[in-house]
Amino acid sequence: MALTREQQELLVRVGAGTPMGDLFRRYWVPILLAEELPEPDCPQVRVRILGEDLIAFRDTDGRIGLIDEFCPHRGASFYFGRNEEGGLRCCYHGWKFDVTGRCVDMPSEPEESNFKDKVAITAYPCIERGDLIFAYMGPPEHRPAPPEIEWLTVPASQRFVSKRLQYTNYLQALEGGIDSSHVSVLHRYDLDGDRLHVRSQGSAFLKGDTRPRFEVAQAPWGLSIGARRNASETEYYWRITPFIMPWYTIIPPYADHPTGGHAFVPIDDEHCWVFSMYYSPDKPIGDELRASLKAGAGNISVNIPGTYIPKANKSNDYLIDRKAQKEKRTFSGVMGIAIQDQAVQESMGPIQDRTKERLGTSDVGIIAARQRLIDAALELREHGTAPPALDPADQRVRSASIVLPRDVPFHEGAREAMAVRPGTPLVSV
């Protein structure tokens, strides 16, 4: 069933004061890779997130600040300011603010003036975790504990994190992340050669059965979305994707490789950051695999140097290769799993009109995720109900690819496989 116009608007609008925007502000929001603020007093960076224009900086003591981009004096951008001696100083008249948004110096005013003590700027608390910087943009009294999704908590040697800019609403990207059925089509010819998919029996099941049956189970973190394919006359192959509220997915693993995941974070209504990661809970990601990821293996994009914009992008038709498409080296003619996803999602336009959709049985996971988001936003708006997955204990879940007897429900048969036990390997085929 297609969405109503009202449901569509509720889901895609993320600015302050909108139901979905208010919901998202109750979570810790990934805003940057830690590498973007590499050291104290390094250059500040612009951050547009949830429709707000902000500036992030790391001060002399290493604390991270996220403040309004524009100085409250005359509106000049802090991007052109000086990051020095414990604060960010506007280059126009020298007003200086610390990471809490407090004005600590006002050289344009008389020495005896206490005007600076009356001036503050919007500032959001930030934390650094798992090679990412997070901000909390909601009511201070409701600030949750820091996130503990497993890939954030493993040693750095067992994790690889990247990001790319996508020119769509966050929901188009999120829906792709929980849609296992497209793997059998869009990524079909990448499964044999991609570094993160070789040696996987699961790839054979994916290509052998392009008509997965989906089941969805409600969970404390959000949803468990199971995609079932035939494995034998007595068994099913299940790919189980956790959707962790409000924008995380963990991709079911292949063979003994690290598993991937995403955070689809709204920049505004028409753009999002796709933070992509691979992690292994029990062993380091070796140099050879790390080099492959940097070169675009798996769900990682190769970006234009100095930016987080993919080299293959809308402006160059994602470097589509019709010869490779004809020769079945890639199904779409677009090379690389990450860019294949981005190409089809951006082809829908900045905001897909879901009132015109014709959904099928393979879309039950997408339907359930939309409803989970709508319900959480309305419960918060109308009743003040705290959103799901704020408790770190509810975020500790793994994906799984597993073969189960046909008479065993996936959420029961895979319960142990989806439990986080530090240092133990993923369950995968």
Give 140's contacts (C-beta < 8 A, 6+ positions apart).
none
In 207-319, where do the E strands start and end?
213-219, 222-230, 235-244, 248-250, 259-268, 271-279
Out of 61-65, 161-165, 192-196, 300-304, pick the least confident.
192-196
Residue 353 has pLDDT above 70, yes or no: yes
| Dihedral (CA of 330, 334, 335, 338) sign | negative
* pLDDT tens, residue by residue, 99-137: 999 999 999 999 899 999 999 999 999 999 999 999 999
**C-alpha angle 306-308-314 in degrees, rounded to nearest 5:** 115
CA distance linking residue 394 with residue 382, whole number of Å: 24
Same CATH topology for 28-142 and 150-413: the answer is: no
Q: Give Cα 208 distance to the centre of its chain.
A: 30
| Distance (Å, whole) CA 87 – CA 375 | 41
Those residues whose C-beta lies under 8 Å from the C-beta of residue 278, and which sit 6 or more positions away, are: 159, 160, 196, 258, 259, 260, 261, 285, 293, 298, 299, 300
- Mean pLDDT computed over 84-107: 97
- Residue-level length of the chain: 429
The overall average pLDDT reported for the chain is 95
Residue 164: CB partners within 8 Å, gap ≥ 6? 273, 274, 276, 301, 303, 308, 309, 310, 338, 342
Give the DSSP letter of residue 184.
G
Assigned token pair, 347: 């082809």
Query: Would the pLDDT of 208 be above 90?
Result: no
Strand arrangement of the beta sheet that strand 45-49 belongs to:
45-49, 52-58, 64-68, 123-124
Residue 13 bridge partners (DSSP): none
Q: Please state which CATH number belongs to domain 28-142.
A: 2.102.10.10
User: Tens digits of per-residue pLDDT, 327-345?
Assistant: 999 999 999 999 999 999 9
Amino acid 257: pLDDT:
93
Amino acid sitting at position 348: M
For the chain, the domains span: 28-142, 150-413
- Residue identified by tokens 């990051």 is 83
Condensed to tens digits (0 to 9), the pLDDT of residues 356-411 reads 999 999 899 999 999 999 999 999 999 999 999 999 999 999 999 999 999 999 99
The three-state secondary structure class of 16 is coil
What's the pTM? 0.95
Q: What is the pLDDT of residues 155-170, one digit of tens each?
A: 999 999 999 999 999 9
H or E, element range at 208? helix 201-208
Of the candidates 264, 233, 290, the one whose C-alpha atom is nearest the C-alpha of residue 345 is 264
The residues, any chain, with a CB within 8 Å of residue 35's CB and separated by 6 or more, are: 131
Say which DSSP state 70 is in: B
Confidence of residue 199 (pLDDT cuts 50, 70, 90): confident
Residue 14 in tokens: 């993320």
* pLDDT at residue 198 in the model: 82
Quickly name the fold that domain 150-413 has. Answer: Naphthalene 1,2-dioxygenase Alpha Subunit; Chain A, domain 1 (3.90.380)
3-state class (DSSP) for residue 98: coil
What is the residue whose two structure tokens read 């799901």? 388
Cα dist from 279 to 156, 159, 291, 300, 418, whole Å: 9, 4, 14, 13, 15
Percentage of the chain with pLDDT > 90?
91
Q: What is the pLDDT of residues 220-270, one digit of tens each?
A: 999 999 999 999 999 999 999 999 999 999 999 999 999 999 999 999 999
As a whole number of angstroms, the distance between CA 77 and CA 55 comes to 9
Report pLDDT for 1. Answer: 61
pLDDT at 281: 97
